[in-house]
């Protein structure tokens, strides 16, 4: 699998899915090792040259310390340079916050689509977010990766019985292996609410999509959690727009989301 070298010397792994047209880079979210977006990428490969990369610390990508959001921006810059110097970007969940930070920093990105970006809106959500970041830091600093994953799942609205059931599944060790990256996603999200000053610098066309319903595994979230976050972010984006799609689940069905993204990213400048 090809790799690029980021500004700090970190090797970042990526794949170019079979396709044609302008490059479209996929950015993953929390507890994703770089595979979650592949089905959507394969759907989009009929129109775009789709690039799926592993964020630092995930899969075959390195994890040079100390971590900083700026280093993740450098990683994405290196991937974009490797595939032609400009690209569209699709980002899932917390990956959307990284995509916006990268665009605000001036990366050569043409259009951005982001599905269910988890900014925190309202005092109660922000307070919950601050508690999560504090507890996550404590868990990871003490080496308790399992507790870090539990904290994330609770934040995402999973019930305790669902978390207990997840711990018995074969995928649990893979999730705990990715637990340190939860700190990185938290750093990209920042204080919780959409960062108005940086989003104002994102002048590219941006499409923020959300599902019409909350993922059944996130029943503990407010029914408008992702919609409120996307609405709030769009209000700060100079060229932001919203779309609600009829999907169930935080990871959208490619057959439903794909046509919407294909139309958006295929629009003339």
- pLDDT tens digits for 36-68? 999 999 999 989 999 999 999 999 999 999 999
User: Where are the domains positioned within the chain?
Assistant: 3-120+190-265, 123-184
215 pLDDT band, cuts 50/70/90, is confident
pLDDT of residue 72: 98
Distance between CA atoms of residues 13 and 75, nearest Å: 10
How does residue 268 score in pLDDT terms, banded at 50, 70 and 90?
A: confident
Residues 14 and 2 sit within 8 Å (Cβ to Cβ): yes
The predicted-structure confidence for 125-180, as pLDDT tens digits, reads as follows 999 999 999 999 999 999 999 999 999 999 999 999 999 999 999 999 999 999 99
CB 145 within 8 A of CB 180: yes
CB 235 within 8 A of CB 195: no
Given a contact cutoff of 8 angstroms between Cβ atoms, the answer to whether 103 and 204 are in contact is yes
pLDDT score at 18: 76
- For the record, the structure tokens of 118 come out as 């988890």
CB distance 56 to 28 below 8 Å: no
Burial class from Cβ neighbours inside 10 Å (0-12, 13-18, 19+) for residue 1 reads exposed
Helix (H, G, I), strand (E, B) or coil at 262: helix
90: enclosing H helix or E strand? strand 87-92
pLDDT reported for residue 252: 87
Residue that has been written with the tokens 């207990």 in this structure: 164
| Superfamily of structural domain 3-120+190-265 | Alpha/Beta hydrolase fold, catalytic domain (3.40.50.1820)
| Statement: residue 1 has pLDDT above 80 | no
Run of H or E residues at 175? helix 172-177
Burial class (CB within 10 angstroms; exposed 0-12, middle 13-18, buried 19+) of 122 = middle
Q: Is the pLDDT of residue 208 over 80?
A: yes
Q: Each residue of 2-33: pLDDT tens digit?
A: 999 999 999 999 999 977 899 999 999 999 99
Mean pLDDT value across residues 115-133: 97
What does the alpha-carbon distance between residue 199 and residue 219 come to, in Å, rounded to a whole number? 29
Distance between CA atoms of 83 and 106, rounded to whole angstroms?
17
Q: What is the reported pLDDT for 46?
A: 87
Q: How confident is the model at residue 16, as a pLDDT? A: 95
Q: What is the pLDDT of residue 249?
A: 76
Task: Give CA–CA dist 67/70, Å, rounded.
Answer: 8
User: Is the pLDDT score of 219 beyond 90?
Assistant: no
Q: What is the pLDDT of residue 81?
A: 98
Q: Are 40 and 75 in contact (CB under 8 A)?
A: no
Is the pLDDT reported for residue 117 higher than 90? yes
Among 109, 103, 117, smallest CA distance to 200 is for 103
Q: Which pLDDT band holds residue 247 (cuts at 50, 70, 90)?
A: confident
Mean pLDDT taken over the chain: 96
């Amino acid at each position: 699998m090809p790799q690029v070298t980021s500004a700090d010397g970190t090797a970042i792994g990526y794949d170019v899915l079979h396709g044609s047209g302008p490059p479209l880079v996929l950015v993953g979210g929390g507890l994703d090792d770089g595979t979650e977006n592949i089905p959507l990428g394969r759907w989009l490969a009929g129109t775009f040259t789709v690039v799926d990369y592993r964020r630092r610390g995930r899969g075959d990508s390195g994890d040079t310390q100390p971590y900083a959001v700026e280093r993740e921006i450098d990683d994405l810059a290196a991937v974009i340079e490797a595939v032609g110097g400009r690209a569209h970007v699709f980002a899932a969940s917390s990956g959307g916050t990284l995509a916006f930070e990268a665009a605000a920093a001036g990366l050569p990105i043409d259009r951005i689509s982001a599905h269910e970006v988890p900014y925190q809106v309202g005092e109660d959500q922000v307070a919950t977010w601050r508690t999560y970041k504090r507890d996550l830091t404590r868990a990871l600093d003490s080496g308790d990766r399992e507790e870090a994953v539990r904290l994330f799942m609770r934040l995402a609205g999973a019930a305790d019985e669902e978390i207990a059931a997840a711990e018995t599944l074969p995928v649990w060790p893979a999730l705990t292996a990715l637990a340190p990256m939860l700190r990185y996603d938290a750093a990209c999200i920042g204080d919780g609410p959409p960062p108005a000053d940086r989003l104002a610098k994102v002048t590219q066309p941006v499409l923020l999509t959300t599902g019409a319903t909350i993922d059944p595994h996130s029943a503990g979230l407010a029914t408008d959690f992702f919609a409120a976050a996307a609405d709030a972010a769009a209000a700060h984006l100079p060229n932001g727009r919203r779309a609600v799609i009829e999907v169930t689940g935080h990871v959208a069905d490619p057959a439903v989301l794909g046509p919407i993204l294909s139309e958006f990213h295929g629009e003339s400048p």
